[in-house]
A and B are shown apart, each in its own frame.
Chain A
Amino acid sequence: MTETATTAAGVFGALHGPFARTALGTDFVRQLRADAFARFEAAGLPTPHDEQWRHTSLGPIAAGTFRLPDDRAADGGQLAPLHLDAYEAVFVNGRYSPALSNIRGLPAGLQVASLRDQLTSGADLVRTHLSQVAALDKPFTALNTAFLDDGAIIHLAAGVIVEKPIHLVFFSTSTGTPFMSSPRVLIIAERGSQAKIVETYAGEAEEAYFTNAVTEVVLEDGAVVDHYKRQVESDRGLHLGRIEARQGRSSTFNSFSLAFGGALSRTDIDVRFAGEGGECGLYGLFLGHGTQHVDHHTLIDHAAPRCSSREVYKGVLDGKSRGVFFGTIVVRPDAQKTDAHQTNKNLLLSREALVNSTPRLQIEADDVRCKHGSTTGQLDATALFYLRSRGIGEAEARSLLTYAFAADVIERITLPALRKAVAADLDLRMPGAGAIVEAAS
């Protein structure tokens, strides 16, 4: 176990020693943390020379001073705006809060639980699945795993279909030195099961903190999981998140990433087709204003034949914000009959906003249908005039057209409870948009 703070990873080294000594967990979990930290230390923080990190500076994290989160409580009032009509598990500063959660009355075959309990009880699910989908070769997965302490486990038994959504809320509240929380989510959808899962990341306004989240999703054959990530961190929050899904035969994974908050945020979504006939949809909407930096990296690995993927990412950048979209689709040599579409469209609302878009196809099979495209533009002046010529004021007209730009992603959010919440999120950033979403519901 390393306790030095002399490497590039030194910022975190000073934290890890005391953490590793006191954190709960079975020997398996302790060993996993130690291995993960060793991997993180050996690799160090990525630099701009790393192609995957070329457009996103980790300066605020590398230069930061962090502490481990304390057991502060949040009051229900702070969380009320985040609430959805769902089975809800709430985490404050990364720690499960039974008092704020409501996971009573789960249907048979559905388990939603604090990961911490599983880490200490030696549950089979943890041994079998934890750290199997999200590999430690990604530095922030290694860091998350090194500080593995709590999070959520969602288990769907074979054939179980859960209608009501499952909502995980990660709320950060703090004063003083920013802390780092490392929430971990493990989703196991057994054969033919179906669920809709929402992860919300939020924080107390104006507070600075660092959330380093990892979600692993195992979809067994025929499973259907709709996964929504709603990132509305505080304006000073730093957020790194990685979602990795491994899809069995004929399974369906739909992922939404709604990234609206944070000073610096990056979400990586990696999907791997491990069996034939799988389908996945990756949809994203990111909004930047002020000096926000919002990054998405996606990777769809067509490692099996006859799978189809659809990807639509939209970015709306205002002020001096920066957006990054880096989307890779890999089609392996034996992944014949692959059908993959990828689109990234960005809207720049100010002269100083900027986006880097890198769509990439890496095709190693010959009988495939793959398309990708990327465009970046501004609001259409004719459309703006059209709306104004009907009496709609300029600011409202701009909001309306901004909404229209993002509409095809928002309309795919079929969960009524989430649509309502997203309408409110959008309304803060494009006044009037909420009413349009409501009108279309």
Chain B
Amino acid sequence: MLEIKNLHANVGGNEILKGLDLTVNTGEVHAIMGPNGSGKSTLAHVLAGRPGYEVTQGTVLYKGQDLLAMAPEERAREGVFLAFQYPVEIPGVSNVYFLKAAMNALRKHRGQPELDAFDFLNLVKEKSKIVDIDDSLVKRPVNEGFSGGEKKRNEIFQMAILDPQLAILDETDSGLDIDALRIVSNGVNQLRSPNRAMVLVTHYQRLLNYIQPDFVHVLVEGRIVKSGGKELALELEQKGYAWLEGAPA
């Protein structure tokens, strides 16, 4: 589904990714771990197409297509979803309206008719259970005045509605207390599917107690220096990242 080869990327003129390779297959959950500044979030944003993140070398194939040639909205319409570390507040625009606009953009791309209000609200009702998001949050302006936990739940709720094929979760656990982490993780687990791949970007092993990945990769200085199964996360928890810094790719 996703094949990243020798990816180099600059942000603000600094090279952050320095030859990253990663292959993710449908149905798999991969965790990308690494110390601060290793390039985890940069990878997430490059995959979603954030302007200003300049790819200087390498290729990214998504479902066999050149992902890097697509605009961010095209990637989304093709099934890529990024759950933001810092979801953006949009005053005056209700969550429902925003989701409907997004949903219909995706449907239009697939040649499907727009969902009518009734079907859409039913979908919202169904998916809101996944992260226990209540009606008032759904109707409120996007993320405005939401707590940290509510924002993250809203990201997973959006993911549930948009039903992506490749979901990238950028530090979804950051800033969450244990209850919120449980709710969010539970939501993510419900969205695991043989038809969907997930990439979890996280600094801490904590998230992986709740969402068990199939693979764990350690990103240090812009490259993946070690890959393994979920037990690698526990090893990192005990040893930290220092022993891997300067390790060969």
Contacts and interface: CB of A to CB of B under 8 A. Distances in A.
A404 B144 CA distance: 11
Interface stretch (B76-84, B191-199, B211-219, B221-229): B76-84
Contacts of A410: 92
B39 interface: no
B76 A388 contact: yes
B102 A392 contact: yes
Interface stretch (A46-54, A334-342, A393-401): A393-401
Interface string A416-441: 00000000000000001001100110
A436 B96 CA distance: 10
Nearest to B90: A404
Interface string B67-90: 000011101110001101011101
Given A381-B51, A403-B92, A386 B87 contact: yes
Contact of A439 (B88, B97, B109, B158): B97
A408 interface: yes
Contact of A440 (B50, B71, B97, B158): B97
Given A385-B50, A385-B72, A439-B97, A391 B92 contact: no
Interface residues of B, number: 33
Given A408-B92, A436-B93, A391 B51 contact: no
Interface in A359-418: 380-383, 385-394, 396-397, 400-401, 403-404, 406-408, 410-411
A394 B72 CA distance: 9
Nearest to B92: A407
Contacts of B162: 390-391
Contacts, number: 92
Interface string A39-64: 00000000000000000000000000
A21 to B, nearest CB: 54
A436 B97 contact: yes
B105 interface: yes
Contacts of B51: 381, 385
Contacts of A432: 101
Contact of A392 (B92, B101, B141): B101
B109 A383 contact: no
18 contacts: A380-B88, A385-B48, A386-B88, A387-B90, A389-B50, A389-B76, A390-B102, A390-B105, A390-B162, A391-B77, A391-B106, A393-B73, A400-B98, A401-B90, A410-B92, A436-B92, A439-B94, A440-B97
Interface of B: 48-52, 71-73, 75-77, 81-82, 84, 86-88, 90-94, 96-98, 101-102, 105-106, 109, 141, 158, 162
